[in-house]
Each structure stands twice: as C-alpha cells, then as structure tokens.
Structure 1
C-alpha cells in the first residue's frame, strides 16, 4: 500500500531518536550503546504491549504495514528512472537521497543509474525481506525492533567524524539483524535469476565492505545481467568497491527491471514468512 505522506509511525520514531540524540550525544561508544539500547528496547516493549493488548490479525497487519517499505522503494526507483529518462540530471540528483546516503553532487547519469539499482537491491532486504523475516519469527516485537534498529543505522550508522564511535552500536546491531535476511534475499533473487545469478552471488557476494549488502547487490547483478560496484562518495568519504557481475554497466531501463524483481522477491518473502508464522502457531 505504500507509505503515507505525513504521520508515518517510523517518522515519529525518527523524531524521538533525534531528540534523544541531542540529549545523550557524546563522541564515545558507550553513549551510542545507551542511545541504541533505550530506543531499541523501547520499541521492543511497545511491540510487546501492542501484541498483548490487540490480539488478532489486524494488529499484526497494521504493524507489518508500518515497518514495510518495499512499495515506496519501488516508487522512488521509478521516479529516478523517469527523471533520468527525461535527461533531468538535477532532478535525479535531488531524488537520490530518498534512496541512499550517497553524495549526488556531480554524479553522471550512468553513476545515478548504478546508485539506484544498487539501492533497490540492498533495500529489498532492508525495507521488505528483513521486516518480514523478523515478523515471522518474533511477531510484532520483532517487527518493531527491526525497524528501530534499521532506522537508527540510517540516522547514525556512518563512519564519519561525528558518528564513527557514537553510531557503532546501531551499525553493528543492524549488521546482526540483517545477516540472515540478506542471505534470504540473495537466495530468492538468485532463484528468480537462474544459474548465472547464483554464480555471481556465490562468487562476488562476499566482496562488498558490508557483510550483508553484497549478497543482495551481487544477486541482483547476476539476475539482471549487469555489473555493479565502483567508486562511491559518502559525505566526502570516498569508497572504492569491487565490481560484482560480468555484464555491462546498468542503463535506465534496468531500474524498472530491478524494481519488478524487488517486488517479486518481496511477495515470495511474504509467502515464506506466512508459512513460518503459521508453523510457529
């Protein structure tokens, strides 16, 4: 169904997290552990309270909707494809922060295309498969805790002067909670993509600096027949990542293909999550 333009519960959580950051920020890991612990623990307690107070499928359905972001991810990808297809580079650069933290300033069209495909690949796990996995195994508390951790990672989980120590706990929690979902995502993508996708996933999935994102991006590269990876800039920090895949550089139509693949993987993951939850009783 997608996200509302205003009043989203995750946005409300983000505002609370911003206020708490101003209150407890110190350039130390200990402060970051306190910050993440209070917010993640609070989200877990809220999920437990909702599950106890509102038994029944509608509570689970609403909680799942609140933490899923797959539809909005696809919409943002298609908006990028539309801007790039019209040659509107400034418009595409302005939209890129809706998808990832990469610095859009001065990016060429081909770099914007690659950034979009990579973001759709990685966020298929973060925005869709991972919440479904945690909801399946831990119910509403699992949904709330996962989205809290992932939101905090997006807010403070950066390797820059301000957050390298303070954001350490949020970033490591996000790595842990996405370890299994990222591999489920890679396997589902490769299942749709065929033998070539499996080969690229197994060969290149571990080359990425993230322990999880590489599995998703490598599988997408193999399934789409494109080559991902290269030089990226994040707030002035430049990362040179190994290339994944054997194909050509991605083009604008590949964004639509990536969005459709992401949607197919999301629906497959929803089916698997329903089976797991049913088996749990």
Structure 2
C-alpha cells in the first residue's frame, strides 16, 4: 500500500516549486555529495577509488534508509518515495518541449536542452521531438519504474541505494578521460540495478501502445549502445511507429548511431510528443495496476 500511495502522491504533487525553492531537493544533495567525492578522490588509482566511493555511498544510503524505516508508521516512507519518484515532473518536462516546439524551433531547442545532454544548436524540428521522446522513454525507466521497483524489493534502503547509484552514473559514469576509470564501478552497478526495471518498462510500454510484435523489440533493444536504455526506447519507437536514436552530436562530435525502428516515421513533431506523454501516463497506470495486483495476491 505504501508503494501505491507514494506513486499516487507523486503523480498528483510532482515537485512543488514552493518547497524546493526553499530547501534543497534530496537529489540535489546527492549530486553535491557525489561532486565532492569526484573532486576529492578522483586521483591516483582512479578505478579503485571510484569503486570504494560508490560502495561507501551505497552503504551510507542503505543505512540511512534503514534508519528512516525505524520510525513508526508509513508516512515517512510514502513522502520519501513520492519525492524520489519523477512521474509528474517527467511528463511536465517532456510536454514543455512539445508546447515550445509549437511556438518555434528555437523555443523547442531551449526546452529540450533542459532534459538532454546532446548538442541542440543544429537540431531541426524532428531531432528536437526525437530527443524529447527518447528522454521520456529512458527516464520513465530510470525515474519512475526503477525507483518503484527497488522500493518494492527492498524498501527505503533499496530506493536510496538505487537513487544514489543512478545519480552517480549520471554524473561520473561517462567514458571521458576524467571519468572512464573513476566512474566505471558506478556505471556498472547502475547497469545491474536497471537490468530488470528497464525490461519491465519496455513491457509496460508495449502493453499500452499498439503492441508491436515483441520480436521487434527483442531484436533491436540489445543492439542499443546502452544495455538497458534500448529496451524502453525500442518499445516506444515500435509502439508509436516512429524512428528513434540515430545520429546526434555531443560536444561538437557527431555520433553516427543507427536508428531504432528505422522503417518508422522520421518526420516527428509536437503531436508525437503529445502521444508520448499519453504513453507515459498509460504505462504509469499499468505499473500502478500491476503493483495493486502483486500486493493483493
């Protein structure tokens, strides 16, 4: 019941600006801690130091979660879960790209730059829409399904361990000269923790869209550059009949990635983003129903 109430509270409240403009969001605090670790320990034997850092962070997160669970009642669990889920905020950020793109290409670029890390300067309308839809699919897994899954499996300790790992991966898990060794353990642990949730997310997307033959998703998802992101992305691409991924630029360097569902629609726009937002809510609803079923069996 705690999981269900936490999901509902997040869907209703999202991330109220009046609150997080006054106190730091827990994800911000996690980011600050990881940034300090990066500045302090990213030297010497970087891979060993990075491994010890993520192990220490996970141990601390798990211990904090255990301590919080010792308080009587479930209200703290519900509030923390709602804060660390991101369904409503994800929907708002993705929809903002579609609304901005209807105004102008420039507005669309500025909006999508808030949720993706790739270069946006030379994007056309289709590239902006494609970027927003890819981000929606991947973050449905990372920001909603995976945290809910690990809370269901291991309570607050599982939730906090997942969130600190996922935050670390997003900050130091890149294959850059500075972080390839130091962030190696964080990236590998994040891959492991998302193994089941990413595939569960793909199944939920498949269940609420046009239900393409699962063989198409099973064939393309493992070919993605990420061992996990390819699953919700392939499900979204085939579910909406559109092409995702493809070439893009990072820090001025063009990456010639293949398209997912290359035979799908390539000329994307705001209407496709609207369809994606509908899928986000339907998949969330399917996840909620699944949680109810599991809890009542």
Give TM-score, length-normalised by structure 2. Answer: 0.87
Name the CA shift for 1:15/1:78 in 2 (closer, same or farther; >3 Å): same
Distance 2:216 2:208 in 1: 13
Q: Say what the alpha-carbon RMSD is for the aligned residues.
A: 1.8
Distance 1:25 1:278 in 2: 47
1:257 aligned to 275, 279, 292, which one? 275
Q: Tell whether 2:159 aligns with 1:143.
A: yes
The corresponding residue for 2:249 is: 233
| Distance apart, 1:75 and its partner CA | 0.5
Q: Tell whether 2:59 aligns with 1:41.
A: yes
The corresponding residue for 1:117 is: 133
Taking the TM superposition and a 5 Å limit, the aligned residue runs for 1:192-203 are 192-196=208-212, 198-203=214-219
Name the CA shift for 1:103/1:26 in 2 (closer, same or farther; >3 Å): farther
| Distance apart, 1:88 and its partner CA | 4.0
| Distance apart, 1:217 and its partner CA | 0.6
Distance 2:278 2:186 in 1: 31
Give TM-score, length-normalised by structure 1. Answer: 0.92
Runs of at least 5 residues in structure 1 that lack an aligned partner in the other structure:
none
Q: How many residues align?
A: 277
| Distance apart, 1:59 and its partner CA | 2.0
Distance 1:180 1:277 in 2: 19
1:3 aligned to 5, 15, 18, which one? 15
More displaced 10-residue stretch of structure 1: 182-191 or 36-45: 36-45
Taking the TM superposition and a 5 Å limit, the aligned residue runs for 1:86-105 are 86-89=103-106, 91-105=107-121
| Distance apart, 1:199 and its partner CA | 4.1
More displaced 10-residue stretch of structure 1: 56-65 or 179-188: 56-65
Tell whether the 8 Å contact from 2:97 to 2:112 is kept in structure 1 after alignment: yes
Runs of at least 5 residues in structure 2 that lack an aligned partner in the other structure:
1-12
The corresponding residue for 1:31 is: 49
Distance 2:38 2:97 in 1: 32
SS at match of 2:181: coil
| Distance apart, 1:190 and its partner CA | 0.7
Distance 1:206 1:179 in 2: 12
Taking the TM superposition and a 5 Å limit, the aligned residue runs for 1:164-175 are 164-175=180-191
| Distance apart, 1:2 and its partner CA | 1.1
Tell whether the 8 Å contact from 1:29 to 1:167 is kept in structure 2 after alignment: yes
